[in-house]
Amino acid sequence: MTTIENAPIQTSFTELLGCRYPIIAGPMFLVSDENLVSAVSNAGGIGAAPSLNWRTPDLFREAVRKIKTLTDQPFGINLIVNQANPRVEADLAVCVEERVPFVVTSLGNPKEVIRRMHEVGGKVFCDVTTLEYALKVQELGADGVIAVSAGAGGHAGPTSPLVLIPYLRKHLRIPVVLAGGVATGEQVAAAMLLGASAVQIGTRFIATNEAKVDAKYKNAVLEAEPDDIVMTYKLSGTPAAVINTPYVKKSGLQLNPIESFLMKRKSTKKLMKTMRFLIGSKMLQKAAMLPTWKEVWSAGQAVGLIEDEIPAGEVVRRLVSEYYAAFRGFDPQTPQASRGGARGAATARASATP
């Protein structure tokens, strides 16, 4: 039975993807798997995972097919499209052949991904941190952008979401998704008021039953505070947010002078990015899956808002309940009704039926 606490939240994003709630479980390296993805999608959001969470394209294809057996709802796959990823073409082929409904691109030119996914009816959103890149992907035909702002885990952007979302909405015609620091329904409501059509939430889903990572990683998320999150260049050469463990403190956050020099040279930049990408991936894998003193755990500033480990579906239900609670007592004539995807903030409440 639909009540005001679980009524659909209607935005341009939910209309485009055909999901109940504008909530994406952000694709997290080594954390997101078939069970986590399907649990979020079954709860009404969009579960997503990076293709690189599976060691080969064939294993990735098997995972996509398993997700389809676990949910009949839309789900997403993240493709890293820069030259440091040798699997991008093979993984894109899997997404096309398996007709993945939603693809998120990161760290590169998404032109080919957009073209080929559109041929099979897929929707493509692109990670962006600046207006310049957002305008480029819009012109390439992207269906929307993921505005990766300050506070996000992984490759976070430098700009506050309070500025980035309305700034992008002012200049773009396509939906904007807020990513960075979100872990509560109140923040989802705030995102809608700013003009976002959805939110992408990563760190909150690390502390879930479905996340198959080492218990020390989950405990670190539960115990960390926002100021425990630091930006390191050592995972990929691009600033990435991690928990400031003793190992991270000891190893430092910057590339050494030789790496920095080679990263800036045109003739060696691609090789250095590939090497740093492979080294960083291996570090994250060992820390996430095995007890190790080399503790490198990706997370965002939302760690300070996470206090318990619960099922992923319960996270979605809690976010929706908190979202509606945040709007109780608000004037239904508030300005968000005219702001792009945010119009659902008012209309969704009216759509609930007893």
pLDDT tens string 189-226: 999 999 999 999 999 999 999 998 889 999 999 999 99
pLDDT beneath 70: ranges in the chain: 1-5, 234-238, 252-294, 329-354
Q: Of 209, 220, 217, 251, nearest to 234 (Cα)?
A: 251
pLDDT of residue 250: 72
pLDDT of residue 345: 43
What's the pTM value of the predicted model, to 2 decimals?
A: 0.83
pLDDT of residue 221: 96
The torsion angles phi and psi of 108, rounded to 5 degrees, stand at: 170, -170
pLDDT of residue 293: 37
Question: Which CATH class name applies to 12-211+307-351?
Answer: alpha beta
Where exactly does CATH 3.20.20.70 map onto the chain? Answer: 12-211+307-351
pLDDT of residue 187: 97
Q: Using CA atoms, how far apart are residues 99 and 122, in angstroms rounded to an integer?
A: 7
